[in-house]
Amino acid sequence: MIELHSMKVLGEMKAAGSFVASTLTALKEHAAVGVDLLELNAMAHNLIRERGATSCYLDYAPSFGSGPFGHVLCTSVNDAVLHGLPHPYRLRDGDLLTLDFAASVDGWVADSAISFVVGTARPEDLELIELTERALEKAISVAVVGNKIGDISYAIGSVAREAGLKVNMEFGGHGVGRTMHGDPFVANDGRPGRGFPLKPGLVIAIEPWFMRGTDKLKKAPDGWTLLSANGSRTAHSEHTIAITEDGPLVLTQRGN
């Protein structure tokens, strides 16, 4: 079911968005060569406790995973792009790291993801990250009353196609509210003018994620982490936004 929220509720959801944004900022600042992925997960867990928030991941057990996720943060490194299960791994110089974090504050959820390079960056990695960020910005710009979900999907896909990238359609954005994953599904490519109409009070996570040379995924032995099928590096950018009469409201906007 697709839910539309009042302006009062959107105001309440800002608390979750602000917490998710500040947590990702803190985690990015802490990530460095030699830092273990489990250390980042523990840091996120501590921030959740301090805020009195609730993790959306800890006991999450959807059909596409292997049992409860068991952690509060997705940590995807290099060729891992989605649902990266934290494990004992110390970050190395040049690693491309994606952090995906969702939490509930006072019953309302926000979801966001960032990709960045730890240490010395390869130009091609920075370009891939920038493409996901550009796709996200373009998608947000068309997330206005009167447009449709297909306009958002088309905006993302157009950035990918212009860069010669293929787009995977299995995983994408989604409705956000009391739960992390709701309707509508927001594919990372589509036809403009199609799909659910964007109405005031609709809250969605928009999340372009790109790989080079393939649109296929493979699952890691941990049963959760999704990898590019060809071993290429990946990037992922995500914000939770609300549709309002005054334009899109980015609930997970970060300060930097």
Residues 188-221 pLDDT 10s: 999 999 999 999 999 999 999 999 999 999 999 9
Residue 34 has pLDDT above 80, yes or no: yes
The binding site for a divalent metal cation comprises 100, 111, 174, 207, 238
Own/partner contacts of 141-144, CB < 8 Å, gap of 24 or more, are: 141/248, 143/198, 143/204, 143/206, 143/241, 143/243, 143/248, 144/198, 144/243, 144/247, 144/248
Known binding-site residue numbers for substrate: 83, 181
Least confident among 19-23, 61-65, 90-94, 135-139: 61-65
Q: Could you report the per-residue pLDDT of 90-138, keeping only the tens digit for each?
A: 999 999 999 999 999 999 999 999 999 999 999 999 999 999 999 999 9
With tokens 């730890």, the residue in question is 118
**Structure confidence at residue 256 (pLDDT):** 55
pLDDT at 229: 98
Question: Could you tell me which residues are annotated as the binding site?
Answer: 83, 100, 111, 174, 181, 207, 238
Give the mean model confidence (pLDDT) for residues 171-184. 96
Its CATH class, for the domain covering 7-250, is: alpha beta
